[in-house]
Amino acid sequence: MVKILAVGSIALDSVKTPFGSIKDALGGSAVYFGVAASYFADVSIVGVVGKDFPQKHLDALRSRGVDTSGIVIEEGETFRWSGEYGYGLGERDTLETHLGVFEKFNPLIPSELSRSEFIFLANIDPELQFKILRQATNRNFAACDTMDFWIEGKRKELDETMRRVDMMIVNDSECRQLAEEPNLIKAARKVLRMGPHAIVVKKGEHGALLMNEKSMFSAPAFPCEDVFDPTGAGDTFAGGMIGYLAKAGEISERQLRQAVLYGTVMASYCVEKFSIEGICNLTSEEIESRFRQLKELTSI
């Protein structure tokens, strides 16, 4: 199978929603991405945790077939985040953030992982993203995420990274901020002129928009009856999407559109439970069934 490398955060999350709460659950961008992608292709994650990181969480990743050889355990505490959602679940309040060992994260990619064909640069410092790209000597496809903090504080470094990736995966507000353009379609086109060949704009409950120089594709979100925790849905979406592209073995227009739908499917399972519980024990039949349902939603 094609190897995927994801570099990002590994965290212990404490989340409260109107439907329940969970403390010190496995989270982080690399984790959600890796678990989702593992259903489609071999995936390795690179990140850092502290000595307090529970062994059961490493075991959970390995049980899903995620390669954890790139996870470094350092003296200190694991990155911790806590947040609370209201009934709408569309917005959250961050209650606490303790970076711990993640504050000085300086990823060095093991030589065997540097030959991975697909690279996902999660929401980390653009300088580190650029450093990873220089180490990934065998990549065929690289996708990058970012956030408002980096867009404001390290725009020059982010621009350097964007010129070297194949796809940007951002939410609608980040897309507008990158382009300094309120209209989302114009903003996405402007981002494309900054370097990437394609952009995927995540719009939460309103679905996702895929755009490249030649075409545009819009996919709805899957209508879930039970939504408990949207934490990690965006990285899960990216994992399903890039995992499918790696499995397909080509980056054609058709495969890109299919990938967006598979990303949407994986994200829909993620939000139905806390942490990674919703995406840990899926079957290929469940994934394909929901994929067919999603296609039927848009068929006339």
- Token pair belonging to 221: 């979100």
* Close Cβ partners of 176 (under 8 Å, ≥ 6 residues apart): 182, 184, 187
Q: How far apart are CA 238 and CA 169, in angstroms?
A: 8
Could you tell me which of 4, 1, 39 has the C-alpha nearest to residue 287? 39
| DSSP letter assigned to residue 195 | S
Quick one: fold of 3-297? Answer: UDP-N-acetylmuramoyl-L-alanine:D-glutamate ligase (3.40.1190)
Q: What pLDDT is stored for residue 1 in this prediction? A: 47
Q: What pLDDT is stored for residue 89 in this prediction? A: 64
Q: Kind and range of the H or E element at 171?
A: strand 167-171
User: What is the percentage of the chain residues whose pLDDT exceeds 90?
Assistant: 82
The residue extents of the domains of the chain are 3-297
Q: Kind and range of the H or E element at 152?
A: helix 148-153
| Lowest-pLDDT choice from 92-96, 249-253, 273-277 | 92-96
Q: How far apart are CA 141 and CA 127, in angstroms?
A: 19
Q: Global pTM?
A: 0.95
The answer to whether the CB of 265 falls within 8 A of the CB of 287 is yes
User: Could you give the C-alpha distances from 77 to 8, 59, 80, 146, 216, in angstroms and in order?
Assistant: 16, 19, 8, 24, 44
The amino acid occupying position 64 is R
pLDDT single digits (tens) 182-231: 999 999 999 999 999 999 999 988 899 999 988 999 999 999 888 888 89
Q: How far apart are CA 96 and CA 63, in angstroms?
A: 30
pLDDT single digits (tens) 51-108: 999 999 999 999 999 999 999 999 999 999 999 988 766 677 888 999 999 999 999 8
